[in-house]
Chains A and B, each alone.
Chain A
């Protein structure tokens, strides 16, 4: 079982639509990161959130860390084909530098 569960696993939407990806756990994380991975490449960091309730915006992407630091969400407004990729959440617990990855959400934005 994954410590970090992402939903949905797959998402296929039309250009211009909005979407939200969820990352949930029963454990508390001291920090949580979101990465995007494209085929043939390693994941690239999008954002890091560290405070419960924190909201960060990156252009059309909005990231939120849950108040209890057990969950996070990524919201994309007006999705574009360039947003296509594998989105991964990853968290660290207080006691460790080890980064635990979620199961991933594969997003396809159709033109």
Chain B
């Protein structure tokens, strides 16, 4: 089985711009979660989508949004970028049907905001 893929792997943007990140889950997985990882805050949960619906949401401002398509692929959008948005953005997929199921992580997208 192919693993979770994320594109692009690296991205450089300037303040005020917007960015869209993409995540392709493992085939058959219906849940996709997004996380922000920074040295200071660690791994912070952004949101989770299950069958095209947002099922859980973290404590991030409305500038962070996402969506999931019918093939379970997911996109995350950040508008009006700020310097503090520089981070590694990770997505993870799982079956989404059990609270003990395994989340499989992609390699992440490293976003740098200048």
User: Number of B residues contacting the other chain (C-beta, 8 Å)?
Assistant: 25
The answer for the CA separation of A104 and B42 in the assembled complex, in Å, is 7
Minimum CB–CB distance from A6 to chain B (whole Å) comes to 9
Check A42/B102 contact, CB under 8 A, given A97-B56, A99-B33. no
- Contact string against A for B residues 82-99, beta-carbon threshold 8 Å, 1 for contact and 0 otherwise: 000000001010001001
The answer for the CA separation of A102 and B37 in the assembled complex, in Å, is 12
The answer for the CA separation of A50 and B107 in the assembled complex, in Å, is 27
What class of interface size applies to chain A in its complex with B? 20 to 34
Q: In this assembly, does B64 line the interface, its C-beta being within 8 Å of a C-beta of chain A?
A: no
Q: In this assembly, does A98 line the interface, its C-beta being within 8 Å of a C-beta of chain B?
A: yes
Minimum CB–CB distance from A87 to chain B (whole Å) comes to 12
- Contact string against B for A residues 78-111, beta-carbon threshold 8 Å, 1 for contact and 0 otherwise: 0000000000101010101111111110000000
Check A98/B107 contact, CB under 8 A, given A31-B99, A48-B102, A92-B99. no
The answer for the CA separation of A81 and B55 in the assembled complex, in Å, is 40
Residues of B whose CB lies within 8 Å of any CB of A are 4, 31, 33, 35, 42-45, 48, 50, 55-56, 58, 90, 92, 96, 99-100, 102-108
Please list the 8 inter-chain residue pairs (A to B) with the smallest Cβ-Cβ separation, ordered nearest first.
A42-B105, A101-B43, A98-B56, A31-B100, A103-B42, A45-B102, A92-B99, A43-B105
